[in-house]
């Protein structure tokens, strides 16, 4: 099974979407803005959809981007929850 994105791309997308800014997203993620832009472009390419409309000094989510933002938050929540559950099980067993 091939997953259309990696978790670091999902995290980057969420940060950019929540800040409506690649510059602010890059600052929060402690990476260079061009590297963050490349991550988002790669995510859009892998998904086959444009997630952001890019204006002169602003960006906003496309309808697909708004839907993906909701799903992305849920996916990361589930991944973190699963890691916590597995960690708790390992502590009980060990």
Tens of pLDDT along 3-18?
888 999 999 999 999 9
Mean pLDDT, the chain, rounded, equals 94
pLDDT in tens, 15-34: 999 999 999 999 999 999 99
Q: How many Å apart are CA 60 and CA 16, to the nearest integer?
A: 9
Domains, the chain: 7-93 (1.10.10.10)
Whole-number pLDDT of residue 82: 94
pLDDT in tens, 37-48: 999 999 999 999
CB contact at 8 A, 25 and 37: no
CA angle 8, 4, 35 (to 5 degrees): 40
Asked whether residue 1 carries a pLDDT value surpassing 80, the answer given is no
């Amino acid at each position: 099974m091939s997953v259309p994105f990696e978790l670091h791309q999902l995290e980057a997308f969420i940060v950019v979407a929540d800040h409506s800014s690649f510059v602010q997203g890059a600052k929060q993620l402690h990476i260079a803005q061009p590297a963050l832009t490349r991550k988002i472009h790669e995510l859009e390419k892998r998904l086959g959809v444009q997630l952001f409309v890019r204006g002169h000094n602003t960006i906003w989510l496309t309808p697909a981007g708004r839907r993906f933002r909701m799903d992305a938050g849920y996916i990361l929540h589930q991944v973190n929850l699963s890691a916590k559950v597995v960690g708790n099980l390992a502590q009980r067993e060990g």
